[in-house]
């Protein structure tokens, strides 16, 4: 994991010092800022590989920072916050966060989650330059773009990753826990409604394709992208 630069965005200086101690020892390079506006400026000035992002920030809160980043950038974002309600976690995932850690936290867990993010691309074995096609749909994981014919579909980064994974493994059924593990890299207990929410959004945005392909629900089992 050497040569990976992490931007820590948190207005609690004690937490920043704690993360500096452990993450530096783990071999990461670190940058720090303490409000949302500075975080966006740092992204324009430095090559950053991952962001640890607090929600309750001065100037611009973490929700808005995440939304702005996701308009142009797919780098990993891990929310690091005291907000522990399920609704907050789901909101974080819906706006494009890759992971969600609740304070207080164990530094070793933070390191493990970061390493999981950097391994995430291994979920997607080599395809034609990261592009998959089936019937009328094309997914480009490099650009985080999904096309139906000549129409660009507006999907959030995690929705693109989920669709890419299902399309690569078309006609194979995955349980919710398997999808959380493979797409979200979760190996711990988390509410499986996260998967249901993302599947629902994909269906709404991609529409009903009837006889050609569809995202199928197998009751009591999970989901698959069925190409006929």
Distance CA 27, CA 4 (A): 8
Range 174-198 average pLDDT: 79
Residue 211 is predicted with a pLDDT of: 63
d(CA 184, CA 98) in angstroms, rounded, equals 7
pLDDT of residue 118 exceeding 90, the answer is no
What's the confidence (pLDDT) of residue 1?
A: 45
- Top mean-pLDDT range of 5-19, 66-80, 118-132: 5-19
Tokens found for residue 28: 């990461």
- List, for residues 65-105, the tens digit of each pLDDT value: 998 888 777 788 999 988 878 888 888 888 888 888 888 88
- Candidate from 51-60, 65-74, 106-115, 122-131 with smallest mean pLDDT: 122-131
Calculate mean pLDDT across residues 16-23.
93
Cis previous bond, 7, omega within 30? no
Above 70 in pLDDT, residue 198?
yes
Give the whole-angstrom CA distance, residue 202 versus residue 207.
8
Give residue 166's pLDDT: 92
For the chain, domains (ranges, CATH) are 5-118 (3.40.50.2300), 123-227 (1.10.10.10)
Place of tokens 């499986």: 192
The pTM of this model reads: 0.59
**Closest by CA position to 92, among listed 185, 6, 198, 4:** 198
The alpha carbon dihedral of 90, 95, 98, 104 has a sign of negative
């Amino acid at each position: 994991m050497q040569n990976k630069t992490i931007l820590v965005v948190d207005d609690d200086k004690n937490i920043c010092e704690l993360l500096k101690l452990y993450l530096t020892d783990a071999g990461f390079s670190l940058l720090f800022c303490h409000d949302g506006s500075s975080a966006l400026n740092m992204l324009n000035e430095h090559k950053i590989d991952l962001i640890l992002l607090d929600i309750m920030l001065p100037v611009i809160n973490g929700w808005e920072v995440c939304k702005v980043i996701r308009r142009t950038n797919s780098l990993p974002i891990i929310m690091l916050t005291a907000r522990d309600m399920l609704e907050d976690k789901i909101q974080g995932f819906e706006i494009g966060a890759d992971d969600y850690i609740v304070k207080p936290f164990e530094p070793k867990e933070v390191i493990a989650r970061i390493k999981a993010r950097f391994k995430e691309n291994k979920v997607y074995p080599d395809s034609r330059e990261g592009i998959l096609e089936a019937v009328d749909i094309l997914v480009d994981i490099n650009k985080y773009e999904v096309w139906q014919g000549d129409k660009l579909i507006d999907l959030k980064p995690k929705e693109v990753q989920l669709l890419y994974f299902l399309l690569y493994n078309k006609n194979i059924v995955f349980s919710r826990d398997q999808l959380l593990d493979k797409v979200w890299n979760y190996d711990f207990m988390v509410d499986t409604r996260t998967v249901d929410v993302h599947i629902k959004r994909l269906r709404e945005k991609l529409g009903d394709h009837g006889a050609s392909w569809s995202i199928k629900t197998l009751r009591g089992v999970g989901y698959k992208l069925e190409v006929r």
